[in-house]
Amino acid sequence: MGKSKLPTILRVEVNNPIRESLVDKPSETANGFFKAAYASIRRLLSGREVDGSSRSEEEEKVYSWLYALALSRNSLIFEYVESTERGLSFTEAERRLKEHGPNAPVEYTSPSWWRLLSNAFFHPFNIILIVLSTLSYITSDTTNGCIMLVLVSISVALRFYQEFASAKAALKLSEFLRYPVKVQRCAGRVIQTELIVQVDQRDIVPGDIIHFEPGDLFPGDVRLITSKQLVVSQSSLTGESAMVDKAADVREDRSTPLLELKNICFMGTSVVAGSGTGLVVSTGSKTYMSTMFSSLGKQKPPDDFEIGIRHLSYVLIGVMLVITTIIGFTDYFTSYYLSETLIFSISVASALTPQMLPLIINTSLAKGALAMAKERCIVKSVTAIRGMGSMDILCVDKTGTLTMNRVVVVTHIDAWGSSNEDVLRFAFLNAYFKSEQKNPLDDAILAFVYTNGYRFQHSKYMKTDEIPFDFVRRRVSVILETASSEEDRKQRSLERYVVTKGALEEVIEISKFIANADGQAITSFSSEDYQRIQKMGQELSDDGLRVLGVAMKRLKVQPKDGRKAAISDESDMVFLGMVTFYDPPKDTAKQALWRLAEQGVKPKVLTGDSLHLAIRVCKEVGIKTTHVTTGPDLELLDHEAFHETVKAATVLARLTPTQKLRVVQSLQTVGDHIVGFLGDGINDSLVLEGANVGISVDSGASVSKNLADIILLEKDLNVLAAGVEQGRLNFGNTMKYIKMSVIANIGAVLSLLIAISFLGFEPLTPRQLVTQNFLYSLGQIAIPWDNMDDEYVRTPQRWSRKRLPMFILWNAPVCSMCDIATLLFLWFYYQANSVAEMKLFRSALFVEGLLMQTLIIHLIRTKKIPFIQAVASWPLICSTIVISAIAITFPLTPIGQVMGLVSLPWTYYGFLVVLFLGYFTVGQSVKMLYIFVYKQWL
């Protein structure tokens, strides 16, 4: 009989092309950098985004490789990894370790501090300020140069600190898995001997045969060779506590979901019960776990706000070059003084730049972080606060987030579905006397009995023995003795019971009788009883309940019977009924979800748990369940169907970590949503990195906390609702400053251009212009402490490339009109149009410009009528009063006189009152028309 052939795509040839085509990446190192750079340029030019509708190329290779091994017979699997049934030799293992490298799911190299510093330094906005500062120093304008350098230093220091802290957190992933592994190696040149040695997990290579027992972690992806009652925990991958049975002698098919393959065990999962041997088929970056970690640091979506600020910087550079060039030439051909022209041009460029922007942004973020700290929330990345303000979808896990993460007893029923106290009594006795492996279900039974006033008199019973729980039987039994009366107790006439509690199907299997509904008689367990109980148990499970069966039987008591209990005692039992459990929703969950819904944030549940349980929880907290799906169902969909399903579904259950990431990516790219994700497990690491806002909890895994942007000290969604409000407040105040400063600066500079074209002198000296800009900027420091309209914080806020240009086009001319009106008033009323009246003209323009730039914030900050329908916060009001007072009195001060300013006639201040009343009237009219056209303001 000939040797069986492998499938065509997996036929073993020289140099093992199977491995190369399915898993391995090319090992070329000489051209690696150039290929990586070329690939980056191609991705940049293509502009293609990862939309999550399909697996990545690396994931496909891992999936294909593992399925190929799962579908093959044990006799063929060694050929895939070029190993033998005896294991690898020490020499071959050492060679493979050099070839494949250390066995870690991801190798992360922390970027050097100077690279992080350069990234923080080379930002267009910083470059603008540095260039202007340098030119200021060259032209002896040291005051202006110092101010701009201080602002740059603050911005660079804050950004460097944030990125350096993130890099340190990511570096901790390299220490994720370190433990010894029992490996079978062969030694000897002539006669080879099989040896069992302990090897560090990082030194495991493909082809190694490992031996495992309870408590061991799998060091790589493993194809089972032998197994004995093997039960594995995959919570590190799925986040769910349910155990999984594994078996070596199973032939799988392609329709089985990857994590449900019986003969494949995955890196990072652990052995709960049983033992066996396995062939390591993948290590390091070729494992399934690597698909969770390999994208860390790469998947974080771009921040719309940062992109918008960068584009705004480019626009300001262009506008600055054009306007300052025009003003410079105009001023030169008027005065013919090159040095003064250069200083004046630099001052104009400085006036065009919103110099306080870094300080306003970082102050707003810091203020938001302090406010969230009071809500017992640690903000690791302050920019995440702004992301929460833009967030319109929050993806959450079920366990511990929506639920209390603490089970309670729901019902205790007999075989006919009626409430039965005997069922609860014997379940209580089992839980009370059980001494090994106490679990939350036992605590739930005890708590239910004590809090509901049941008195089952456990003191009348005495435990003689126990048959502990294991993952094969999935039940636990206690042996109890009791006397029916005091006389019997004195005469040592005792009754002995076996009381069993466990998985329903396992308890039914050992039951031969069934207690009648009245509890007074027992009958034989019939097939009709079996079908009825199984159907009832399935319905309860489908309703999201955990179901345990309860059974008991009497044992004959022999005098001086010292026999120990045995598993054989669990036979011919009397089935009593079932106890159901449930992890109830938190009292605050429904209220918090309602608050988030009012703020325009839609919840989606992404869980690895069963669909029925997730649906039950969601119904109780008010999440719609009309559209639900599961991970295996998503795998069968094409691109369009995948995106449509993700868009419509509110509950997505039985998801793997990579499927969670794909769901989030679909929402971000195709749905154009800002997505937050709340998770606390190792399995959530990938999606925490990929979400716009990653949120973990203090009790979560260290890796998830390292990668999260925000850490909740309590699992309470109300904290997130408060964070959303803080984010929108932060975003709104920042946009106030950006829009106000840009339109005020552009309007003022355009006015200067007009004035210098008709006057024979500079409208303001460079020193006056810089002082005016400094005082105006000083007055804006209070903006982060301002409030926002209630309507604004109820909707998600995002940067829009189209809105800012249109906002400038509508509002900047209003500012210019006021400046032009001032110029005309000075020209015709005071005849201040000659060099002789130059000081009066400059003093008047200095005061008007500073007052205009100070008062404009009150028009911009709200869509309502300022001072009538909406009043600013008291810090901003105080700031406005102080700067306005300085503007009015500054020409009278010695400093003002040194700068060439003179006192102004009282009639001019009367004109300013009329001017600003007209400005607010016209500005409010333009605002209302703008809102009518674009349906929004800030």
> Does residue 503 sit in helix, strand or coil?
strand
> 24, 303, 392, 397: which one is catalytic?
397
Q: How far apart are CA 281 and CA 258, in angstroms?
A: 15
Q: CB-side exposure of 759: number of CA atoms within 13 Å?
A: 26
- Among the listed residues 80, 83, 102, the one whose alpha carbon sits nearest the alpha carbon of residue 92: 83
Cβ atoms 857, 883 nearer than 8 A? no
Cα 770 to Cα 772: distance, rounded to the nearest angstrom: 5
Strand 546-555, strand 573-582: pairing? antiparallel
Tell me 564's DSSP state: P
Other C-beta atoms closer than 10 Å to the C-beta of 168 total: 11
Q: Is 543 a catalytic residue?
A: no
787/797 Cα distance (integer angstroms): 15
Distance between start and end Cα atoms, the chain: 80
Question: Alpha carbon of 210 to those of 183, 195, 206, 213, 778: distances in Å?
Answer: 4, 11, 11, 10, 68
Amino acid identity, position 798: R
CA–CA dist 130, 302 (Å, integer): 26
- Distance, in Å, from the CA atom of 585 to the CA atom of 451, rounded to the nearest integer, reads 19
Give the other-Cβ count within 10 Å of 726's Cβ: 26
For residue 96 the two structure tokens come to 């493979």
Residues with Cβ within 8 Å of residue 130, at least 6 apart in sequence? 148, 149, 152
Return d(Cα 416, Cα 690) in angstroms, integer: 49
Question: Scanning the structure block, which residue is given the tokens 């004590």?
Answer: 450
Give 738's DSSP letter.
H
Dist. CA 660–CA 398, nearest whole Å? 13
Cα–Cα distance measured from residue 340 to residue 139, given in angstroms and rounded to the nearest whole number? 9
State the DSSP string of 293-311.
Answer: HTTTTT-PPPPHHHHHHHH
Longest dimension (CA), the chain: 127
Whole-number Å distance between alpha carbons of 234 and 243: 7
Find tokens 């592994």 and name the residue: 181
CA quadruple 535, 536, 541, 547: dihedral, nearest 10: -120
- Give the position of tokens 């049983």: 274
Alpha helices in 280-403 (DSSP H): 290-293, 304-335, 338-352, 357-374, 383-390
d(CA 232, CA 547): 21
Note the Cα 353 to chain centre separation in Å. 35
Q: Collapsing DSSP states into helix, strand and coil, what is residue 784?
A: helix
Helices and strands per DSSP (H, E), number in the chain: 34, 24
Cα 703 vs. chain centroid, distance in angstroms? 12
Q: Where are the alpha helices (DSSP H) in 543-605?
A: 589-598
**Residues tagged active-site:** 397
